[in-house]
Amino acid sequence: MITFKNLVAGYGRAGDILRGIDFTAPESAITCIVGPNGAGKSTVLKACSGLLRPRGGQVLLGDEEIGGRSPAEILRRGVVQVPQHHGLFPSLTVRENVMLGAFVNRRERDRNRRRYEEIAQVFPLIAERAGDKAASLSGGQRRTVEFARALMLRPRVVLLDEPTLGLDPKACKQIADSITTLNKEGVTVLMVEQNVRFGLTLADHAVVMEGGRVLHTGAADALLADPDMGRLFFGAAPEQQETS
Ligand SMILES: Nc1ncnc2c1ncn2[C@@H]1O[C@H](COP(=O)(O)OP(=O)(O)O)[C@@H](O)[C@H]1O
Ligand SMILES: [Mg+2]
């Protein structure tokens, strides 16, 4: 479980971007943050993974304060971020790319090998394409390899920033399956998604942000069914929209 309490954060000398964020991403559930561009969604994830030091408030992993700790310390506690623009190494194989997820524990070869085998069972793509260069994969397949890599350290929490960005609908389906798989492994997922319908369909809990504040928290399906939310995000009732 990740809890944000009155979290304040920003960049450099500029004013605060996050102006008191309060919400909880419950254990072993999928929580999706939605909201317009510039709302501060990615900033919340950065404050959680240690890429950005909070100016105030708390980030709690269970009962433990992790806000302000280094990215390495937070990673060691089981919080892994798959960033918005993340690359695989194109000239390395799928297996090599996944194994890099355990780089910090690279001396524990047997343990890493066993973990890899588990992951290859969970994601059939990994087993099928293990020896192929990452460069030969489609966009959706690459994203799946990034997820698999994030699982190498048996994370408690996975942070996903815009997992479907730039992907076609078929690839989005693959990503949805991969996120569901992460979740079935008991991982707590906190994701940001600009594809609101996609994110809320997948998620258990929704957080709506705007202007560095939380406007709403609640069940994702309730928000999806809410006509006001249709106006907010789609400019029309949801049923009048193309899902393509
Ligand atoms: N590295 C940065 N330096 C300065 N300002 C930034 C930086 N990253 C983001 N911002 C600003 O913070 C605000 C929130 O950004 P972000 O969290 O990326 O929003 P979102 O992910 O919701 O689109 C924006 O106004 C953005 O311009
Ligand atoms: Mg963002």
pLDDT of residue 244: 47
Class assignment of domain 2-86+155-240?
alpha beta
Strands 56-61 and 213-219 turn out to be unpaired
Cβ atoms within 10 Å, residue 148: 25
Nearest atom within ligand 1 for CA of residue 35: 22
For ligand 1, atom 18: residue with the closest CA: 42
Amino acid at 153: L
Q: Rounded to the nearest whole angstrom, what is the distance from the C-alpha of residue 57 to the centroid of ligand 2?
A: 21
Half-sphere exposure of 92 (CA within 13 A, CB side): 12
pTM (predicted TM-score)? 0.89
Q: Is 46 in the pocket of ligand 1 (CB under 6 A)?
A: no
Q: Rounded to the nearest whole angstrom, what is the distance from the C-alpha of residue 38 to the centroid of ligand 1?
A: 6
pLDDT of residue 240: 47
Mean pLDDT, each 10-residue run in order, the chain (244 residues)? 97 94 97 95 96 97 96 92 79 96 88 93 91 93 88 91 86 87 90 92 96 95 85 57 48
Strands 205-210 and 30-34 turn out to be parallel
Q: Rounded to the nearest whole angstrom, what is the distance from the C-alpha of residue 216 to the centroid of ligand 1?
A: 20
Q: Rounded to the nearest whole angstrom, what is the distance from the C-alpha of residue 125 to the centroid of ligand 2?
A: 28
Tokens of 88: 């695989």
Q: Which ligand is nearest to the CA of 17?
A: 1
pLDDT of residue 235: 56
Three-state DSSP class for 79?
Answer: strand
| CA distance linking residue 139 with residue 148, whole number of Å | 14
The pLDDT tens digits for 32-51 are: 999 999 999 999 999 999 99
Nearest atom within ligand 1 for CA of residue 44: 17
pLDDT of residue 169: 85
pLDDT of residue 153: 85
The pLDDT tens digits for 118-131 are: 999 888 899 999 99
For the chain, the domains span: 2-86+155-240
